[in-house]
Amino acid sequence: MRSFRLILILGLILGLGADLTGQSKKRRDLEKQKVRLMDEIALANRILSETQKDRKNSLGTIETVQQKIELRKKLIRTLDREVVLMNEEEAELQRDIDTLRVRVERQKAQYAEMIRQAYKSRKTSSRLMFILSSEDFNQAMRRIEYLKQYSAYRQQKIKEIQKQEADLEAAIERLRVQKVRKNAVRGQLQAESQKLSNEKLSQEEAIKTYRAMESDLEKKLKAKLKEAEKVEKQIQKIIAEEVARARALAARKNLEDRAIDLGLVRGKDFSSNTSNERLEEIIEAAEKARAAANKPVAAAPEAFELTPAARTLAANFAANQKRLPWPVERGLVTGKFGPQRHPVVKSVIIDNKGVDIATEGNAPIRAIFDGEVSRMFRMPDGQLVVIINHGSYFTVYQGITAVTIDQGDTVKKGQTIGSAYTNPINAQTKLHFEIWNDNKAVNPLLWLSAK
């Protein structure tokens, strides 16, 4: 029965330890998330300080403040979860303390009873008579050994009580530290809530200022959207041309492989200047000649849309979905993918083919995967657009200056391809980033790694 109780107590202690370990991991994860959000809020403040040097309440400023408000909300939710988790940990520690107190009291009571029993037989003559009354020498030796073990057991009990008391004191100290930490988090939560209120008020005032000029803004925004549509059409045209070129290369390679399988010799029977139509005629004639000679003719392989190398590259790109690195080391998503209303001028609908990432001036722009620079072209305001081919996938980087690559170059994942362009009019630094699968734009946030 005693063994069963011991196993039960050990099980409870181990279970409590595992539970506390799991909660500690959750708290560490929340603390990491809290640090990341605070870092992004600090980045938003730096971006705002840059954009506000020349002009207050610009549209870029409103977008960045809106993003900061969203980050602040996430931070407050994280702090809320941390307080809840700390309350749970505090309750676990209190239960641990209560268990240890009961255990210490029980140990002390058992030891007190032991002392009382020892007091009753404290006379040396009683112990001596206990030994001398033995029936034989062996029994006397066993009784002597018993008295030694009893004395050692008492010493062991003292040590156990001392250890239990030390554990209790340590648990009480952990609980005290936990309460101090929780109060600190509650203080931070209150401060962040006040900052959020101030930011919302400031944002509302800025939006009111712009809504007073909404009709003028609508005209300017629509003009900008027309310019953006022209650039987007150019991007789509380039990607369509690249897809067609890749398919043409694959089709050509397929024809040449068929010709070589039939025994035709490059440079003799056909060359790179031989048109596809003429090469098909040569292949057909060779197949007829082989059939006439009763030689087996291999079936024509299925046409591939990509070369084997391009297919491998595309497969590797697809396999890294949700693990691809961000094109900038630090940035805020101020414009999401897909159709959406403008944050200030609600009458304007934006159909975003990618995401807009606000970042710091001259921030390095990085290729998110291995590939080849398909095209580069300059926009009217001087910023560059770079398109990188990854097999059947393409990435588009709009808003680059000081490029370090050329058209046709092979780039590696993480390689710097240029610096972020800063608009000289509003001092806003923003990268427009897109991912395409063949002729279809996909949401980059579903491909990039989670922050």
Instruction: Report yes or no: 303 and 247 within 8 Å, Cβ to Cβ.
Output: no
Which tokens in the block code for residue 177? 């530290």
Quote the CA–CA distance of 439 and 392 in Å, as a whole number: 9
Please report where in the chains the tokens 């897809």 appear, as a residue. Answer: 243
d(C-alpha 299, C-alpha 285), whole Å: 15
Q: Can you read off the two tokens belonging to residue 283?
A: 């292949």
Distance CA 386, CA 377 (A): 7
Query: Using an 8 Å Cβ cutoff, are 414 and 325 in contact?
Result: yes
pLDDT of 441: 95
Q: Determine the Cα–Cα distance for residues 380 and 107; give it in Å rounded to an integer.
A: 84
* Sign of the dihedral defined by the CA atoms of residues 358, 359, 365, 369, in that order: negative
Q: How many residues does the chain have?
A: 451
pLDDT of residue 394: 96
Please enumerate in sequence order all residues whose Cβ is within 8 A of that of 447, keeping only pairs 6 or more positions apart, or say none.
321, 322, 324, 435
pLDDT in 10s for each residue of the chain, 451 residues: 444 344 434 444 444 444 555 667 777 877 777 777 777 777 767 766 665 555 544 666 777 777 788 888 888 888 888 888 888 888 888 888 888 888 778 777 776 776 666 665 554 445 556 556 667 777 767 766 765 676 666 677 777 777 877 888 888 888 888 888 888 888 888 888 888 888 888 777 777 766 666 666 677 777 788 888 888 999 999 999 988 888 888 888 888 888 888 888 888 888 888 888 888 888 888 888 777 766 555 555 544 467 788 889 999 999 999 999 999 998 889 889 999 887 667 778 889 999 999 998 899 999 999 999 999 999 888 899 999 999 999 999 999 999 999 999 999 999 999 999 988 877 889 999 999 998 899 999 999 998 7
Domains of the chain from N-terminus onward: 2-211 (no CATH), 246-306 (no CATH), 312-446 (2.70.70.10)
Is 148 buried (19+), middle (13-18) or exposed (0-12) by CB count in 10 A?
Answer: exposed
437 DSSP β-pair partners: 393, 440
- Map residue 421 onto helix, strand or coil: coil
pLDDT score, position 389: 95
**282: its two tokens:** 């040569």
Among residues 335, 267, 81, which one has the least CA distance to residue 185?
81
DSSP-derived 3-state class of residue 393: strand
* DSSP-derived 3-state class of residue 133: coil
Q: Which position has the token pair 């029980």?
A: 106
Residues 297, 193: Cα–Cα separation, whole Å: 77
Distance CA 437, CA 89 (A): 48
Query: Under DSSP, is residue 363 helix (H, G, I), strand (E, B) or coil?
Result: coil
Question: Residue 253: its pLDDT value, please?
Answer: 83
Strands 384-390 and 410-411: unpaired
In 148-262, the DSSP E strands lie at none
